[in-house]
């Protein structure tokens, strides 16, 4: 614990010795605000030390539904007054996490101050013995972003794929719609079948499962710029539905950044549970719901946005009744090219979405 106190004091001295940050009313930059907030956090820790109290860091709980509200035009939003988790430096259960926070705050401060960028991977490799795993860094960077109420890009922490989506300018396209595809395998199959040319022009994008932040930023950028319909093609299972909901309304963990990540106009194109009955998908292609699937489905039905979508609710209740799920690839049990030759063209032409 004494080592952590020394680290706090060292960081305080470093911050005080830097060049003063100019704060001009009405002209304050995002970087200046981030620097000021980090300085405030460290000053709070130093104040605790001066009172001979153990420093603590309070972070909004990103896994509690009590901390979010639902806005139909935006999605899931972190509440202004959030329930916080307390990370204490004098508690053996959280002392290591406290040290992680201090170290990453220091790295972020230097990045912002020098107007340079690093990936989460770069941060992990800056001290692999301290962080132990990449997951530790990933979680704490998001916690800091939530704690400071700023987007991760304003922390100057990027991710390996398309790190500067916000900086993309002058997007020009004749696309009629954007197709968000859950799985990379399906995405590649559509490319192989030249789907964009046959049904296009259109834009396809995939997050290869649960999308990362920059994939969601890109979907939002396309919507803001092109103003064309966005459709989600996901597996007919609870986890596919949740992925579609993440694109549309955001995730609980990133609700503090919902305004820049969600596209509330996203429409659920398929695979719908009712499609399985309507198309008479062979039973051999259907998969029984697991207990985890049933729990996830029950959880989804309790989400605050479901009441706005009675058609979604009916689809999920149908899945509960039938007790089966299906992957997009199950359509090949009808015909090898059924997805691109029949299913998607008919859906897009005749309005088979929710």
Decide if pLDDT at 161 tops 70: no
**Lowest-confidence range among 155-164, 253-262, 291-300, 341-350?**
155-164
Determine how many CB atoms are found less than 10 A away from the CB of residue 210.
12
How far apart CA 274 and CA 114 sit, in angstroms, is: 55
How is the chain split into domains, by residue range? 2-158, 173-350
116 or 304, higher pLDDT: 304
Provide the pLDDT for residue 27.
30
Say which CATH architecture domain 173-350 belongs to. Answer: 3-Layer(aba) Sandwich (3.40)
Per the model's pLDDT, the better-predicted residue between 160 and 152 turns out to be 152
Average pLDDT over residues 125-148: 85
pLDDT (mean) for 225-236: 92
Residue 242: alpha-carbon gap to chain centroid: 12
**Residue 14 has what pLDDT?**
55
pLDDT band (50, 70, 90) for residue 166: low
302 phi and psi angles, rounded to 5 deg: -95, -5
Alpha-carbon torsion 342, 343, 347, 348, what sign?
negative
173-350: same fold as 2-158? no
Reading the block at residue 109, the tokens are 């401060």
The residues carrying an active-site annotation are: 125
Task: Determine the CATH number of domain 2-158.
Answer: 1.10.10.10
Provide the 8-state DSSP code for 66.
G
- Cα 271 off chain centre by: 22
pLDDT tier at 314, thresholds 50, 70, 90: very high
Percent of the chain surpassing pLDDT 90? 19
Q: What is the pLDDT of residue 102?
A: 87
Give whole-number Cα distances, 10 to 42, 88, 107, 127, 323, in Å.
10, 19, 14, 18, 59
pLDDT of the residue at 26: 31
- Across 90-94, 200-204, 324-328, least confident range: 90-94
The mean pLDDT of the chain is: 82
Q: Is the pLDDT of residue 41 over 60?
A: yes
Condensed to tens digits (0 to 9), the pLDDT of residues 259-311 reads 888 899 999 998 899 999 889 988 888 889 999 999 999 999 998 888 889 99
- Contact in structure between 325 and 287 (CB atoms under 8 Å): yes
Percentage of the chain modeled with pLDDT above 70: 88
CA distance 221 to 235: 24
């Amino acid at each position: 614990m004494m080592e952590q106190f020394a680290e706090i004091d060292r960081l305080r001295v470093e911050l005080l010795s830097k060049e003063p940050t100019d704060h001009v009313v009405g002209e304050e930059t995002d970087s200046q605000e981030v620097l000021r907030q980090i300085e405030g956090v460290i000053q709070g820790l130093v104040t605790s030390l001066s009172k001979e109290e153990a420093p603590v860091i309070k972070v909004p709980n990103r896994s509690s539904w009590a901390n979010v509200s639902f806005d139909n035009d935006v999605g899931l939003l972190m509440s202004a007054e959030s329930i916080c988790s307390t990370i204490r430096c004098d508690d053996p259960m959280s002392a290591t996490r406290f040290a992680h926070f201090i170290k990453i705050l220091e790295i972020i401060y230097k990045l912002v101050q020098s107007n340079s960028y690093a990936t989460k991977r770069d941060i992990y490799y800056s001290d692999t013995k301290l962080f132990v795993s990449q997951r530790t860094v990933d979680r704490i960077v998001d916690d800091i972003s939530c704690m400071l109420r700023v987007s991760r890009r304003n922390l100057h922490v990027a991710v390996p794929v398309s790190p500067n989506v916000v900086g993309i300018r002058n997007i020009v396209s004749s696309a009629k719609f954007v197709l968000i595809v859950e799985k990379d395998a399906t995405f590649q199959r559509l490319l192989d079948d030249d789907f964009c040319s046959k049904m296009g022009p259109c834009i396809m994008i995939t997050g290869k499962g649960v999308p990362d932040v920059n994939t969601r930023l890109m979907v939002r950028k396309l919507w803001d710029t092109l103003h064309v319909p966005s459709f989600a093609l996901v597996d007919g299972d609870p986890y596919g539905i949740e992925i579609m909901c993440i694109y549309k309304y955001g995730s609980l963990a990133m609700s503090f950044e919902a305004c820049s990540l969600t596209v509330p106009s996203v429409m659920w194109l398929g695979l719908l549970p009712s499609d399985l009955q309507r198309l008479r998908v062979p039973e051999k292609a259907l998969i029984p719901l697991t207990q985890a699937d049933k729990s996830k489905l029950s959880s989804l039905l309790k989400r605050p946005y479901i009441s706005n979508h009675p058609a979604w609710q009916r689809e999920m209740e149908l899945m509960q009744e039938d007790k089966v799920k299906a992957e997009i690839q199950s359509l090949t049990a009808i015909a090898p090219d059924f997805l691109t030759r029949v299913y998607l063209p008919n859906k897009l032409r005749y309005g088979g979405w929710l």
